[in-house]
Amino acid sequence: MRKMLALAVLGLFVSAASVLVRSALASSDDDLRPLVERYWKAWQSGPDAAAPLYAKGGDLVFYDLEPLKYVGWNQYKAGVGPNILSKFESVTFKVNDDVKTTRRGDVAWTSATVTGDGALKASGPMHVVMRHTAVWEKRGADWLIVHEHVSVPSSLPAAPPGR
C-alpha cells in the first residue's frame, strides 16, 4: 500500500514538474514576441534602425520582396533601400495577432503576418498583408536574426473598404 501511495505521489510530482517546465518554456518563447514588434517598427525607419537586430555574418541569407535574396547584412542593407524602401513616400507596419514563436536553446524562430499601409511614390495609397519568418540566434545577451523570409501572396487580398 505504501509503495502504491509513494508511486502516486511521485506521479503527481512528475506531472506537476512537467507542467511547470512547459509553462516556463512558454514564457520564454513569449519573450520573442516583442522582438517581432520591435523589428517591424525599426524597418519603418530603414535599415540603420533595424541593423541592431541582425547578425552580421557575410554568408547569412535574407529573403525579401525584391530581389530574390541578399547574402550578408551589408548586401541586405545596401539593397533594401533602393530596391524596396525608396518606392515609398511613407509606410507603417502592424504586426497581426498571429505571432508564433518557438525556441530551442539558443535558436528560435518566429512567424507572423504583418499589415503594411502607406503611400507608394508612383501610385499612391497601398495596403498589403505580408508573411514574415525569422530565425533568431542568442548571441551574448541579444537575440539576432540569422535568416529571414519576407513575402507577399501571389494574389493579394483586397484592401478593406475605405482604403
Give, for all 163 residues of the chain, the pLDDT tens digit.
555 444 333 343 434 333 333 444 444 545 799 999 999 999 999 999 999 999 999 999 999 988 889 999 999 999 998 888 888 999 999 999 999 999 999 999 999 999 999 999 999 999 999 999 999 999 999 999 999 999 998 875 555 544 4
- pTM above the 0.85 mark? no
What separation, in Å, do the N-terminal and C-terminal C-alpha atoms of the chain show? 72
Q: What is the CA radius of gyration of the chain?
A: 21
Cα distance between residue 117 and residue 107, in whole Å: 31
Q: Which three cell numbers stand for residue 96?
A: 497581426
